[in-house]
Chains A and B, each alone.
Chain A
Amino acid sequence: MFSFCTDPATLPDWQWFACYLTSGTHLAFYWSFGVVLLLIALAAPSALLFGFGGALAARSHVAPVRVLGKTYIAMVRGVPDIIFFLFVPIAIDQGLEYLMHHIRCPDWTQPVRRGAEFAVCAQAKVPLSNAPAWVHDIYSFGLALVAFALVFGAFAANTLYGAMRTVPRAQLETAEAYGMSRRQVVRRILLPQMWIYALPGLSNLWMILIKATPLLFLLGIRDIVYWARELGGSKTSIYAYPHGDWRLWYFLAVLVFYLLLTWVSERVFERLMRRLSRGQATAAGERLRRAAA
């Protein structure tokens, strides 16, 4: 990074640290913070989408759709979410390969699952074994993203379903009295009003989503936990920058990162709550009205 970094062993302390903290692996470490933020940024809207679908399905008048929605909401109850994070990616992976196997190798006679083996033909591997490394990286990140969206979607569905039921019934009846169709009632009355009731639950979900991101490590992705362990472990003098066991300091840095993230989110949600409470028939809305008057 810097011109004086050619021979780190001879450097004074501050230059040594300047070089150490900008080495190639450290840049990968900093980049992995971006991966975590990217996961949050992608998982939150997709979970919301899944949640929305689940909540609407659970309210449906068509019985099979309703059962499907309610099953989805109930799915993650009572089961630790970490089980889903371990299960979903490998299940999807095997499912895809099984599907590809039947499409690409129809004349393959042996069963796919033989004893302790899961053997599909070479053309059915997802991604193909000769694919470049970045394809594998993106694929495993994508699987992790689906797992996050699926699990958090179920929780968001639960929250949104509850919020839709809290919107005062009289409001919906008034809309019906005006001759709106079911669809119009949902779109014009229910959806705009439910957010204020959903926000406390959603903000809680957001916090939990942030705190679930280190689980990426379990899915074999090179995230901040992976790099903190790698970089912090003691390095002998065959390395350019030998040092003792510094993992404690690396994990402290990761901890501070998460504390900052949750602290900032808390502030943002406080403001958002105030903003959305304006003009609502809730205690917070009433307080705002009084303060203004």
Chain B
Amino acid sequence: MRNCWESLSAYGLRALGRDYGETLLPRAGDITLCDQIVLIGSGLSWNLYFGMLAIGFGFFLATLLALGKNSTNPLLRRPSSGFIFLFRGSPLFIQFFLAYEAFVLLPRNGIEIDLFFTTITAETRWLTRAWAGALIVLILNTTAYSAEIFHGALQSVPKGDLEAADAYGMTGWRRFRRIVWPTMLRLAWPSYTNEAIFLFHATTLVFFSGFPAWQQSGDSLYYARYLADQTFNPFVAYPIVAAYFVGLTLVIIWIFGAVNRRLNRHLPQQAPRLRYRPQLIR
């Protein structure tokens, strides 16, 4: 049996790969409570990695997509609406499977791209790995959900604000950057906070959906399930991962609340408090 320090050094970074700790995960008779807390905690780094990158990229793509859906040009509006429908209308779980099978079918040696003067080889092998393939799916998914939120907010930008911008002679990029975008963000922020929380929760699906866990390095729920299967006791591992996520949710609400206050700082009344309205799997 290990003591807590030994578990920390053995499994603290285990989720990064087997070079960063014990090669083998703890086995049935040899699992301490500290092992469970440490191992699940190290898995949380995958959830953070997926969540933060997906939100980071998704935010900008969603702004573009929302503008596309809001456009009067059908060549922009139709594909944007179609993309949003495709990703919001189907389960994320199926999207993961579909993407994985599609990536597997790509030629293993990479795709030769002929650029007249030279050929480059696009590597495709990493697409079947979770860190890249699943991240792409998560980015596209959160882009669709966030775009729908931003589109709703774009439509409720007060008419007076736009007229005032016109009166000042603002057009194009300047009008968007200084009037439309800040107001859109301000209006969308409470819903966007929910979407962010929702996305972090959705990252737990990655290692259950086709993408294999390379060298047994997976996310927190992957380890929780491993430990629950090994000990045949669901009453320890699952509450631990649940507690981690409650903590993570509180941190997200705190960060997004700070941004919310900044977005609303020019308004006379206090910014509305963010309320987390929980939603489920997509």
Residues of A within 8 A of B245 (CB): 78-80, 83
Taken residue by residue from 197 to 225, chain B's Cβ proximity to chain A (1 for < 8 Å, 0 otherwise) reads as: 10001101100100000000000010011
**Chain B residues proximal to chain A, CB less than 8 Å:** 28-29, 31, 85-86, 88-95, 97-98, 101-102, 104-105, 197, 201-202, 204-205, 208, 221, 224-225, 228, 230-235, 238, 241-242, 245-246, 249-250, 276-282
Whether A155 and B280, one on each chain, are in contact in the complex, defined by CB atoms closer than 8 angstroms, is yes
**Known pairs A212-B91, A251-B98; A83 contacts B246 (CB<8 A):** no
Taking CB atoms, residues of chain A closer than 8 Å to B93 are: 211, 214-215, 217, 225
Main secondary structure of the interface of A (DSSP, over half): helix
Q: Say how far A60's CB is from chain B's closest CB, in angstroms.
A: 22
- Residue pairs across A and B with Cβ atoms less than 8 A apart, 11 shown, are A79-B245, A82-B201, A83-B242, A86-B221, A86-B228, A115-B28, A155-B280, A214-B91, A214-B94, A248-B101, A248-B105
How close is A140's CB to chain B, nearest CB, in angstroms? Answer: 15
- Fill in one digit per residue for A239-270: 1 if any B CB lies within 8 Å of its CB, else 0: 00000010110011011001100110000000
A212 near B224 (CB under 8 angstroms)? no
For the complex formed, measure the closest distance between the CB of B257 and the CB atoms of chain A, giving whole angstroms. 15
Which chain A positions have C-beta within 8 A of B278? Answer: 76-78, 155, 158
User: How far in angstroms is the closest Cβ of chain B from A88?
Assistant: 9
Which residue of chain B is the closest to A77 with respect to CB atoms? Answer: B278
Kindly state whether residue A39 has any CB partner on chain B within 8 Å. no
List 8 A-B pairs, minimum CB-CB distance, nearest first.
A80-B201, A78-B249, A116-B28, A211-B91, A87-B238, A78-B246, A262-B89, A248-B101
Given contacts A80-B202, A91-B234, A228-B97, contact A211 B282 (CB under 8 A): yes
What residues of B have a CB within 8 angstroms of the CB of A116 in the complex?
Answer: 28-29, 31, 230-233
Within 8 A of B (CB), among A262-280: 262-263
